[in-house]
Homo-oligomer: A and B are copies of this chain.
Amino acid sequence: MKITPWEVSGDIDYQKLIKEFGVSKLDDKILSRIKKHTKDLHFMLRRKIFFAHRDMNWLLDEYEKGNKFFLYTGRAPSGPIHIGHLMPWVFTKWLQDKFNVELWFQFPDEEKFLFNKKMTFDDAEKYLNENMLDVIALGFNHKKTHFLVDTQHAGLMYKHACRVAKKITLSTVKASFGFTDSMNIGIIFYTSMQAVPAFLPSVLKGKNIPCLIPLAVDQDPHFRVARDVYPKLDYYKPAIIHGMFLPPLEGVTGKMGTTGTQTAIFTTDTPSEVKKKINKYAFSGGRDTVEEHRKKGGNPDIDVSFQYLKFLFEPDDEKLKEIYNKYKSGEMLTSELKEILIKKINVFLKEHQKKREKAKSQIDKFMFRD
């Protein structure tokens, strides 16, 4: 397996990742500490889809002392949004609502421009606008949510990125990201910009504020580097909560990507596109024939449709368990499981697309103004 901010491939062993990245398992003790404040637990926590963390105990200690945190997450605009992207944001929205906290949402529009030879800033800007609509459509509270666009907010961020950069050597980024001398010097600097929103609110308020970063685990290396720097600048190390990747349609390895447009379910897909993609591409845990399936049963643990229900579209544990059992026993066929998923996705997307349309007039309200 390979997990960097720029490549996720292979068979992902999340338990191994916990050791390799040096993060902590999100265990039941932490979950019950969270539940004390949120009353219930989001299904992504109950199901350990958010599976690891850094410093959550410290964050909750501070919270219980009355030292509220803010949330920070982001999206590098590089293509259309698929349902895999939504996972950490859906969870972030829940955190915002339950803890009633500010969210800083970064759009590092230079990141993919710097990494991707063919990408232009015009491409980045087009996707930036599209991607913002998807974030807004998830229902974040605009009074407590602040969009930062790296190139547009550099007047605010670049100076602080330099403060971070001064404390990070070339050796460190080479070791942490596998960079070589053939990389461009923008890529080398970039991690400094991603580090900034974790303390920018502290700069603006003139006092140290704890930060919690919900992210997909591939983004962890940025903060592994930056967390060594924050205390040197007299800021808290942010806490982090790490999510798994939504598997690609073709099978339960890697993460959903956007390179082949057939292989992802986009937020702008029509009901018939969704139906076609799921029916045609979603890797099945079913047997070769209906007879065999009825007799031996299917395997929901490798079935992509079941995984999508588990990761995103069936929040009800009882219902999910029922589907699991029925599919495993052979009572439910792959076509029936797929039908359930298709319906769930299309109900979600119908609503999402409506809100996405409305979002077009709301971007201004979310943009941070100094």
Residues of A at under 8 Å CB distance from B? 110, 113-114, 121, 150-159, 161-163, 165-171, 173-174, 179-186, 188-189, 191-192
Determine if A162 and B114 form an interchain contact, defined as CB atoms under 8 angstroms apart.
yes
Whole-angstrom distance between the alpha carbons of A166 and B183 in the complex?
9
Determine if B159 and A158 form an interchain contact, defined as CB atoms under 8 angstroms apart.
no
Determine if B192 and A110 form an interchain contact, defined as CB atoms under 8 angstroms apart.
no
Known pairs A154-B157, A185-B192, A189-B189. 12 more at Cβ < 8 A? A110-B158, A110-B159, A121-B163, A150-B158, A154-B159, A162-B186, A166-B186, A169-B184, A170-B185, A171-B181, A185-B188, A185-B189
Whole-angstrom distance between the alpha carbons of A153 and B150 in the complex?
13
**What are 28 pairs between A and B in contact, CB < 8 Å?**
A110-B159, A113-B166, A151-B155, A151-B158, A151-B159, A151-B162, A152-B155, A154-B154, A155-B155, A155-B156, A158-B158, A162-B186, A165-B184, A165-B189, A166-B184, A169-B181, A169-B182, A169-B183, A170-B180, A170-B181, A170-B188, A171-B182, A185-B188, A185-B191, A186-B189, A186-B192, A188-B188, A188-B189
Q: In the complex, what's the smallest C-beta–C-beta distance from A95 to chain B, in angstroms?
A: 30
Determine if A167 and B189 form an interchain contact, defined as CB atoms under 8 angstroms apart.
no
Whole-angstrom distance between the alpha carbons of A113 and B165 in the complex?
11
Q: In the complex, what's the smallest C-beta–C-beta distance from A114 to chain B, in angstroms?
A: 6
**A163 neighbours in B (Cβ, 8 Å):** 121
**A113 neighbours in B (Cβ, 8 Å):** 162, 166
- CB < 8 Å: which of B150, B153, B156, B169 contacts A185? B169
**A180 neighbours in B (Cβ, 8 Å):** 170
Whole-angstrom distance between the alpha carbons of A174 and B184 in the complex?
12
Whole-angstrom distance between the alpha carbons of A110 and B164 in the complex?
12
**A161 neighbours in B (Cβ, 8 Å):** 186
Q: In the complex, what's the smallest C-beta–C-beta distance from A165 to chain B, in angstroms?
A: 3
Whole-angstrom distance between the alpha carbons of A357 and B195 in the complex?
41
Q: In the complex, what's the smallest C-beta–C-beta distance from A4 to chain B, in angstroms?
A: 17
Find the B residue at minimum CB distance from A119.
B166
Q: In the complex, what's the smallest C-beta–C-beta distance from A264 to chain B, in angstroms?
A: 27
Find the B residue at minimum CB distance from A171.
B181
Q: In the complex, what's the smallest C-beta–C-beta distance from A140 to chain B, in angstroms?
A: 24
Kindly name the residue among A152, A162, A174, A184 whose own CB sees the greatest number of chain B CB atoms within 10 A.
Answer: A162
Given A154-B154, A189-B189, CB of A184 within 8 Å of CB of B168 = yes
**A171 neighbours in B (Cβ, 8 Å):** 181-182
Find the B residue at minimum CB distance from A111.
B162
Whole-angstrom distance between the alpha carbons of A29 and B130 in the complex?
57
**A155 neighbours in B (Cβ, 8 Å):** 151-156
Whole-angstrom distance between the alpha carbons of A183 and B167 in the complex?
10
**A170 neighbours in B (Cβ, 8 Å):** 170, 179-185, 188
Whole-angstrom distance between the alpha carbons of A174 and B151 in the complex?
26
Whole-angstrom distance between the alpha carbons of A155 and B150 in the complex?
8
